[in-house]
Amino acid sequence: MSLIKKIIKTAKLILLLVIIALAIKGFSSIIRETEYKEAIYIMKIDEAIFSSEKVIKELKSIEDIPNIKSVILRLNSPGGAIGASQEIFKEIEKFKEKTGKKFICSIENIGASGAYYISLACDKILALPGSIVGSIGVISIFFSAEELIEKFHIKPFIVKSGKFKDSGTPLRNPTEEDIRYINTIVQKLFEQFKRDVKMKRPNLKVSIDEIADGRVFSGEEAVELGLIDGTGTFSDAVSMAIELAGIKIKPKIIWGRKKKPLMELLNIDSSINTLINKIFQPMFM
């Protein structure tokens, strides 16, 4: 009987300890929820920009999460296609207007051309002193395989609705008229780029035409020119996000989309489509 009582007593003690442990765990969970009720979301663009789809989906996925008070765009890209860059720029502006959340850009190694264009939508832009920033301009890249086609005795036939419909095709050499036509488009898109830089960076220290010649600048130079707001690390961007969003407690840092899964990387059809898009996309920032 004495042994049974000891077993019961031990069981009660174990049960009490379990209850205490669960209570402590629950209390800790409440503390953590309170501590992390405000968060900063980290969005990464770390490749050439040929599509806006993933960024737009990512923005949509976080716009209704109330505890995300601000977003840091971690930028490391040389730029890319004009349409994709402009669409991301516009979607960030819409996101800010709809949610009231602050957007800070933190440039790592490079934020040039179309990537710099995207950064203009952010409330503040930071870069490291040695980051590469700028490259304000537009370029059209195409090639001719006419001589190669002739070498293999291939004769293409082109049926077109207008004389400029096949401008830039690799099937023939461009004419002087083709070059003038494409140059006209490049210049119009260039004016759009300069217009948005002037609108978003009203305190430029020099005329936009003095620096919009395709040059890149170091982070330090970009600050002096007024292209960005300051130099700083990712940690500095977090501090700025806390300040601009008025966050009063230690925020949770939420990292955005992860790298592509292996099977997606091995998707041959997708890879071929991306390659074709990059080769035949005529206008780049």
Secondary structure letter of residue 162 according to DSSP: S
Between the ranges 47-51, 104-108, 148-152, where is the mean pLDDT highest?
A: 104-108
Residues in contact with 285: Cβ distance below 8 Å, sequence separation at least 6, in sequence order: 79, 80, 81, 82, 85, 113, 114, 117, 137, 138, 139, 193
pLDDT score recorded for residue 235: 96
Average pLDDT over residues 191-217: 95
| pLDDT digit string, tens, across residues 123-151 | 999 999 999 999 999 988 877 777 877 77
- Least confident segment among 1-15, 72-86, 120-134, 179-193: 1-15
Report, at the CATH architecture level, how domain 40-284 is classified. Alpha-Beta Complex (3.90)
Specify whether the CB–CB gap between 135 and 112 falls below 8 A.
yes
Question: What's the first-to-final CA gap in the chain, in angstroms?
Answer: 86
Specify whether the CB–CB gap between 281 and 139 falls below 8 A.
no
Is 131 annotated as catalytic? no
Is 165 annotated as catalytic? yes
**240 exposure class (CB count in 10 Å sphere: 0-12, 13-18, 19+):** buried
Query: Residue 263 — very low, low, confident or very high, per pLDDT cuts 50/70/90?
Result: very low
Q: How far apart are CA 255 and CA 149, in angstroms?
A: 49
Query: Residue 33 — very low, low, confident or very high, per pLDDT cuts 50/70/90?
Result: very low
| pLDDT digit string, tens, across residues 197-206 | 999 999 999 9
pLDDT score recorded for residue 172: 82
The answer on pLDDT for 229 being more than 60 is yes
Query: Residue 12 — very low, low, confident or very high, per pLDDT cuts 50/70/90?
Result: low
80 — alpha (psi -120 to 50), left (phi > 0) or beta?
left
Catalytic residue among 52, 70, 77, 113: 113
Specify whether the CB–CB gap between 122 and 102 falls below 8 A.
no
Catalytic residue among 9, 54, 165, 250: 165
